[in-house]
Structure 1
Amino acid sequence: MDLTLWILTVGWIFVLLWVPFIIYTNRKTHPKALFVLFFAEMWERFSYYGMRALLVLYMTKVLFIDMAQSAAEVKSYAIYGSYTAMVYLFPVLGGMVADKYLGFRKTIIWGGFLMVLGHFALGFQAFGDLEGNMPMFFGALGLIIVGNGFFKPNVSSFLGEFYETDDPRKDGAFSIFYMGVNIGSFLAILTCGYVGQNINWHYGFGLAGIGMLIGLLVFWAFAKGFGEKGLEPQEVKDGSVKIFGTKPAVSVIVLSLLAIPICALMLNLNEVMSTLLLVISVFIVGYIIYHALKSDDKVEGQRLLVVVVLFFFHAVFWALFEQAGGSLTIFIEKNVDRSFLGTVLPSSIFQSFNPLFIILLAPLFSFMWLRLNKAKKEPSTPMKFVLGLGLLAFGFAIIVLGAKYFPNNEGLISVVFIALMYLFHTMGELSLSPVGLSMVTKLSPNKIVGFVMGAWFLSISIGNKMAGWIGSLTASESVAEGAHPTETLSVYADTYLTWGVFVVAGATLILLLLVPTLRKWMHGIH
């Protein structure tokens, strides 16, 4: 058995023991719905991260193999940025559909179904003469983008329905839920990464689809246990609401199918996608600001403004954090010593550090927030964001330190630097991301919580698009084809120093100065 397969086997055994332990120890603290949604989201993330682990590598090594290396990397980063941006852009519409028309349950099921089709379409390219079929490749990504838009925001929003607005268990619940996200990610990176890089790229993509199908079936099987929660609005049940003169469900299906080829086309139109994302972002953020300023309830309006301010810092965080699926994967491929015990580990497997650390640390963070809350010392949400950004910058500082001062004669750095970077990035993520999801459900008016949650994912969309652009800065044309790793190392170090350390540290300082104002605007919601 090679080392990679041994790591994969141990990873699965660990998760099979860890998940029952977490459910058992938290069964009396949280409602059963948390664990159903935890499990469904775990498998949905298995599908997403399984494909994400392979996407840039597949494009650079297979899809654009005829292009020069730097050109292939730039094009791959652009497509990766557009893909992940749209993955987090469509939740704005998915949240609105759930709020106004279908309810959480039906919206989640429809989104999951489209994602299953998308992943299987990628998997089927392993057969016949479909390898490298561009229309099928981009069409499959279009299915996943649209499906994710319906699934992703509504699972998170639905979880908030099972807790009161300022329930002290809420941040802990979202930390546990977030651990489910990362268990799926951990298993996917190990499993799909191994199968994709060692057996067949498309078998790896197909495994991601099987994971999505399991998540969909789990949610569907347990949905009846949610009672009246998550059903469509009463006016939709009564038949008084129509879209284009038809039932909302029919219109949503038709419009979804029309959106798929449009998304596929936009993936290959980088500049158009960037402009469109900017216009949509300005419109949606502007609408939330307008709603906040025009609200008859001043408290409600100021709480929404907190979401808007943190929206921008959230985008900065993800612009650098998401280098993990792009430039950092290629950096590990080129400039990290991956040999261990006679085996050269595949570069995709190193992405598993992040979800592994989350699995181990999420219960600790959940416990820590509850204990600090009881002691009346828990940091406010804006202060947790400051902590998250600071830890992100520190993680990049470790990589820059390793690249500038500790490379070996071949221009490779130790995997220890990668592990430490992921440790600090993970602690930053736990301080910011699940807390942000919880915050949206606390600060948003009930009638638009799905829409605001979708807008919150829009900040991740902007961050992902920025991530693609930042990643392209590491694909320097000044570095010759097949250059020695010492040459590429300096390009990565300079890029990460500028953007990962200096820019993020600057954003951290600005947010720290805004914390007192934001706490005041939250009006007692911690």
Structure 2
Amino acid sequence: MATSTSIAAGTGKTWLGHPRGLFLLFFVEMWERFSFYGMRALLIFYLTQHFLFSDRDAAYAYGAYMSLIYISPLMGGYLADRYLGQRKAVLFGGVVIAIGHIILGLEGGVASSGMGLGLFWLGLATVITGTGFLKSSASALVGQLYPRADMRRDPAYTIFYMGINVGATIGPLICGYLGQRWGWHWGFGAASVGMIAGVIGFVWCKPLLQGGGEPPDPARLAQRVGGLISREWLVYLSSLLSILLCWFLIQQHAIVGWMLAVSSALVVLYILWEAFGRMERVGRDRMLAALFLLVVNPIFWGLYEQTGSSLALFTDRYTDRTILGFNVPASMFQSVNAAYILLFGPVIAGLWIWLAKRGWEPSTPAKFGLALALVGAGFLVLVAGSGAPGTLTPLLFIFLLYLCHTLGELCLSPVGLSAMSKLAPSRVIGLMMGIWFLAMALGEYAAGMIAAATGGEEGAASREGVLAVYGRIGWWSIGIGVAVMAIAPWVKRLMHLDRLDDVDVFGNAPADGYAVRDDMAGKPDRLG
């Protein structure tokens, strides 16, 4: 079925040489990111200005929320692959996200009571659950529009990625302005309108998917469990119950931290067990290289993701935000990063190609080190440009900080998943992708901890206290980045890039470095 679907998609009507379904998914993802980044632009301000959280408590809540956002696609993607199919998962996720934003929009006008705060947590928990279904499945649907060997797949994901950043650019501009100028419920309400628009478009234009993303076993999905309810509705209802779990966890950031710590330790042990217990030298080296990149990943995101927390508060309180006589709401500046990606993404991609033709392109681990150095440099630029105590920081230095951070992201984010797909044997590639997002979730939690540190001992940030923290993390980030670049040649050798062509599409031994060891002879089940 999957083959026929891909062939049909690849030979149907096209726009700009691509299946029309790609532009439907572009539209859906654009509105989902509009709603997500629009709401995120308001989140830290809503906590500190509406509910009067201290900076420290707001940062903890922000870190817990963002961590759960990145963990949820693991379960949502699993349920989509096993039961629902990607199309139903995207639709269900979009509806649940829209409901979450509606809850936030309704709550925006409620006084800061215990009931109002509980309703706010419920809105966030609902958004987390919906994102788990939509985020992973929308990306998977893009690949299903093309035959496996179609050369248009990479450009298709580039177009899809542009949709992400278009939504991420306009979301904070519209939701941020409405939320901080007209009232919180206007900003959250605008985010819900965006997601509702995406859902309506997805339902209306379903034929453009040409049968892609349907359930793997429709008959089994329709079967009644215990004679009471279909398996499909059982998945929906059990997923809605997970909202209660998310509602609890958002309020217990320490538990989220322990969950991430234990999960990370188990992941490291698993990778080491795979590398030394089940693989030969080439595969073992590649898994160790993957582990190295996975360790660097949360360090970067922990610093980079100050955008939605401590940097947002710094911009609001200590920056001259006047542009052409207009005092721009601080939340709107969270669109700068996505706008930079739209501007510089093609430039950096072209630069890598130009360097590669001359044999000068940095290796993947070297790019990771460069990313850390750039994100650290961004903080140091802000510190250097902030001037004397008691003065407002010129807006120019906020733009320069985001420029450094965006260039760092372009050095790390696009190549990270690509590296995982190259280094992991195909039998565990899905798991390694999930581990990559788990590492990002750990980085989001670390971002909350770093932002909390800017609040000082009493939980109330001062300009000099924030800049002192930024100075320390800036120098540490540059130092770690330089160290990563220094050992990058050794890590590159572990990747065995000259032997990637030896691996077949199924990851069969011995090409992927996974072979039956002498003490496992006669046990073919170990071949996976």
Q: Is the 8 A contact 1:382 1:519 kept in 2?
A: no
Q: Quick one: which amino acid aligns to residue 103 of structure 1?
A: G
Post-superposition offset of 1:184:
0.6
- The 1-side partners of 2:149 and 2:466 are apart by 43
Aligned-partner SS, 1:155: helix
Q: Is the 8 A contact 1:175 1:363 kept in 2?
A: no
Q: Give matches, 1:186-265, under 5 Å.
A: 186-227=169-210, 229-233=212-216, 236-237=217-218, 239=220, 248-265=231-248
Post-superposition offset of 1:299:
5.9
Q: Structure 2 vs 1, CA of residues 115 and 301 (structure 1 numbering), >3 Å: closer, same or farther? A: farther
Q: Quick one: which amino acid aligns to residue 465 of structure 1?
A: Y
Q: Structure 2 vs 1, CA of residues 230 and 493 (structure 1 numbering), >3 Å: closer, same or farther? A: same
- The 2-side partners of 1:289 and 1:425 are apart by 32
Post-superposition offset of 1:36:
3.4
- Select the residue among 371, 379, 382 that pairs with 1:388: 371
Q: Deviations over 1:450-508 (max 9, x none)?
A: 443332221121111111110011111469x7xxxxx9222112111222331353145
Post-superposition offset of 1:82:
0.4
Q: Quick one: which amino acid aligns to residue 466 of structure 2?
A: Y
Matched, 1:401 2:384: yes
Matched, 1:323 2:306: yes
Larger radius of gyration, structure 1 or 2? 2
The equivalent of 1:488 in structure 2 is: 462
Post-superposition offset of 1:53:
0.3
- Select the residue among 10, 13, 16 that pairs with 1:27: 16
Post-superposition offset of 1:176:
4.1
Post-superposition offset of 1:517:
2.8
Q: Structure 2 vs 1, CA of residues 44 and 448 (structure 1 numbering), >3 Å: closer, same or farther? A: farther
Q: Give matches, 1:125-164, under 5 Å.
A: 125-126=107-108, 133-161=116-144
Q: Structure 2 vs 1, CA of residues 357 and 128 (structure 1 numbering), >3 Å: closer, same or farther? A: closer
Q: Give matches, 1:50-89, under 5 Å.
A: 50-64=38-52, 72-89=54-71
Matched, 1:414 2:388: no
Post-superposition offset of 1:293:
5.2
Q: Structure 2 vs 1, CA of residues 343 and 204 (structure 1 numbering), >3 Å: closer, same or farther? A: same
Q: Give matches, 1:121-520, under 5 Å.
A: 121-126=103-108, 133-161=116-144, 173-227=156-210, 229-233=212-216, 236-237=217-218, 239=220, 248-287=231-270, 289-291=272-274, 303=286, 305-372=288-355, 377-403=360-386, 406-407=387-388, 410-444=390-424, 449-477=429-457, 488-510=462-484, 512-518=486-492, 520=494
Computed over aligned residues only, the root mean square deviation of the Cα atoms, in angstroms, reads 3.3
- The 1-side partners of 2:79 and 2:496 are apart by 27
Which shifted more, 250-259 or 237-246?
A: 237-246
Q: Structure 2 vs 1, CA of residues 390 and 154 (structure 1 numbering), >3 Å: closer, same or farther? A: farther
Q: Structure 2 vs 1, CA of residues 129 and 503 (structure 1 numbering), >3 Å: closer, same or farther? A: closer
Q: Deviations over 1:175-230 (max 9, x none)?
A: 44333212111101100000000001011011111112222333444454444543
Could you state the TM-score of these two structures normalised by the residue count of structure 2?
A: 0.81
Q: Which structure 1 residue ranges, 5 or more long, are not aligned? A: 1-25, 482-486
Which shifted more, 301-310 or 180-189?
A: 301-310
Q: Quick one: which amino acid aligns to residue 196 of structure 1?
A: G
Q: Quick one: which amino acid aligns to residue 93 of structure 1?
A: M
The equivalent of 1:39 in structure 2 is: 27
Which shifted more, 413-422 or 290-299?
A: 290-299
- Select the residue among 96, 115, 119 that pairs with 2:78: 96
- The 1-side partners of 2:407 and 2:117 are apart by 38
- The 2-side partners of 1:166 and 1:123 are apart by 45
Q: Is the 8 A contact 1:388 1:431 kept in 2?
A: yes
Q: Is the 8 A contact 1:399 1:418 kept in 2?
A: yes
Q: Quick one: which amino acid aligns to residue 126 of structure 2?
A: L
The equivalent of 1:13 in structure 2 is: none
- The 2-side partners of 1:446 and 1:159 are apart by 20
- The 1-side partners of 2:401 and 2:471 are apart by 13
- Work out the number of aligned pairs and report it: 483
Aligned-partner SS, 2:214: coil
Post-superposition offset of 1:515:
4.5
Aligned-partner SS, 2:455: coil
Q: Is the 8 A contact 2:286 2:494 kept in 1?
A: no
- The 1-side partners of 2:295 and 2:275 are apart by 17
Post-superposition offset of 1:242:
9.0
Aligned-partner SS, 2:393: coil
Could you state the TM-score of these two structures normalised by the residue count of structure 1?
A: 0.81
Post-superposition offset of 1:390:
2.1
Identity %: 36
Q: Structure 2 vs 1, CA of residues 386 and 165 (structure 1 numbering), >3 Å: closer, same or farther? A: farther
Q: Structure 2 vs 1, CA of residues 291 and 494 (structure 1 numbering), >3 Å: closer, same or farther? A: same
Q: Quick one: which amino acid aligns to residue 120 of structure 1?
A: I
Aligned-partner SS, 1:410: coil
Aligned-partner SS, 2:43: helix
Q: Is the 8 A contact 1:99 1:451 kept in 2?
A: no
Q: Is the 8 A contact 1:327 1:474 kept in 2?
A: yes
- Select the residue among 80, 90, 95 that pairs with 1:113: 95
Q: Is the 8 A contact 1:175 1:430 kept in 2?
A: no
